[in-house]
Amino acid sequence: MENAIIIGDRVVGDGHPTYIIAEIGINHNGDLNIAKRLIDAAVLAGCDAVKFQKRTPELAVPPEQRNVMRETPWGVMSYMDYRYRVEFEHEQYAEIDSYCHDRKIHWFASPWDEPAVDDLEAFKPVCYKVASASLTDDGLLRRLREIGRPVILSTGMSTMEQIAHAISQLQDVPLALMHTTSNYPCPPQELNLRMIETLRAQYPANPIGYSGHETGLQTTCAAVVLGARLVERHITLDRTMWGSDQAASVEPHGFSRLVRDIRVIETALGDGVKRVYDSERAAMKKLRRVQTDTSIQQN
């Protein structure tokens, strides 16, 4: 069964290169110059896309949290003021849209509410991402269904029943599912990478990916071996920067290694068809005591 979807000019699914996403999220801390530097780092690493987050603070922030004071690099402020401080508006996204176009890299975002979808739609993004926290937001899912662009659905902190319900709200939408555990940073014993296999078996018509929040790179590479056709990791300029996602992020040099290793793994996995390579024939002739017609005639 064909399980590929098209995101922009890329085909994503079995038999195609892993679609690698560098999640900038809010690691830009409201600074457009930092966002551009992160885009540059993703381009240099060879990523397919960068991803942001978009919220309407008065809708996304619960009333009981709005006036909670917190320390920030910009001084002590209410949580609501903080959310506005790190939120990009239309003008900033217009610059991001132009910058990504010039750098020839896809960009999209996770909208956390319906007005955020409408704001982003002005830029005709290649797809939308539904964050794990939004998986049960039927209104948001229905709005994305109305638009009809491809959706990447993250499944952290969700049951199989909740996942099935969310998928039912996105009927007829090109859909990829991302296994993830919503713990930042996530310890290895909670990554549960075999869920990639479970989702592949449960939803064979949809590409399955992996959104990692762990430290280190090896487990993300293992996700590709297990069948992840999309990979997402947070990217940061420096893991010691201020922000809730920085510690679970990957610095630029690490992202370059990750993309390199994923591409090597893709090549090394092959197609599963046993063959005798021409490069083996000299060793076969030298080391085998008995030759059979079958072994000599194999391609």
Rounded average pLDDT over 22-45: 97
CATH code of the domain occupying 5-297: 3.20.20.70
pLDDT at 294: 58
Q: Token pair for residue 289?
A: 């005591």
pLDDT digits (tens, 9 = 90+) for 247-288: 899 999 999 999 999 999 999 999 999 999 999 999 999 999
Domain ranges of the chain: 5-297
Pairing label, strands 19-25, 69-72 = unpaired
Q: What is the pTM assigned to this prediction?
A: 0.93
Least confident of 38-47, 69-78, 98-107: 69-78
Give 93-123 pLDDT, tens digit per residue: 999 999 999 999 999 999 999 999 999 999 9
- What's the rounded Cα separation, in Å, for the pair 212 and 193? 10
Q: Which of 104, 127, 120 is nearest to 39 (CA)?
A: 104
pLDDT at 295 over 60: no
Phi and psi angles of residue 252, each rounded to the nearest 5 degrees, phi first? -55, -45
**Can you count the helices (H) and strands (E) in the chain?**
13, 12
Tokens of 48: 């397919």
pLDDT of the residue at 178? 98
C-alpha to C-alpha distance for 253 and 75, rounded to whole angstroms: 31
Count of beta carbons in the 10 Å neighbourhood of residue 7: 24
Token code pair at residue 61: 């922030």
